[in-house]
Amino acid sequence: NAGVTQTPKFQVLKTGQSMTLQCAQDMNHNSMYWYRQDPGMGLRLIYYSASEGTTDKGEVPNGYNVSRLNKREFSLRLESAAPSQTSVYFCASSFFTGELFFGEGSRLTVL
Amino acid sequence: GEDVEQSLFLSVREGDSSVINCTYTDSSSTYLYWYKQEPGAGLQLLTYIFSNMDMKQDQRLTVLLNKKDKHLSLRIADTQTGDSAIYFCAESNPDTGRRALTFGSGTRLQVQP
């Protein structure tokens, strides 16, 4: 059972570079989420998609864009990476509510 | 907006009980959760409680909810070294369309042999 798969697991970028974090789930979940995790700050919601075709901003959306490509896939794009975006990024999905299933995380370093 | 607060660190001895506390600000929260994160991994749901309950027990885990004080706690009985992890409290209110969870900062539980 794959669950939620994120790629890449690790990435190092230079300031100003762009990249896309990919996320796919095979549980037929309606909702998908992108969070970032920083030390002492817990998880903060960047964007979420309640259903295919919809996306909404979370707590910290600046500097990011998302695409809900289809029901399975939800990507997060950094158009011009900044050192403040150094973090661990988690994708999650849920069918109804509450029980979010998380990927293993993508560790991003921006130099 | 919604806010969830937790202490950052707790250390206990193996076999003791652990109690991890959480406070939240949104009185309309309808679901409250505890997630566990092991090193290098994503979060996994441990247990949850509806806001109309005040206690839920699941094997070694006991969740207590004081809705008046907006206080949630997780008690782990007979704590084992395998319980060492970061524990996150979270809340949501899907009745208002707010399905995404708001997480606390996490409590790192260290279990000493």
Residue of A nearest to B33 (CA): A98
Cα within 13 Å of Cα(A79), Cβ side: 6
Contact A104 B40 (CB under 8 A): yes
Query: Does the pLDDT at position B96 exceed 80?
Result: no
What lies within 8 Å, CB to CB, of A66 at 6+ separation is: A34, A46, A47, A49, A55, A74, A75, A76, A77
Segment B46-60 mean pLDDT: 91
Report which of residues B27 and A8 the model is more confident about: A8
Residue type, B2: E
For residues B57 and B62, give the distance between their C-alpha atoms in angstroms, rounded to a whole number: 4
Q: pLDDT, tens digit, for every residue of B22-44?
A: 999 887 777 899 999 998 888 99
Chain B residues with CB inside 8 Å of A104's CB?
40-42
How confident is residue B111, by pLDDT bands cut at 50, 70 and 90?
very high
Which pLDDT score is estimated for B99? 67
Which pLDDT score is estimated for A2? 77
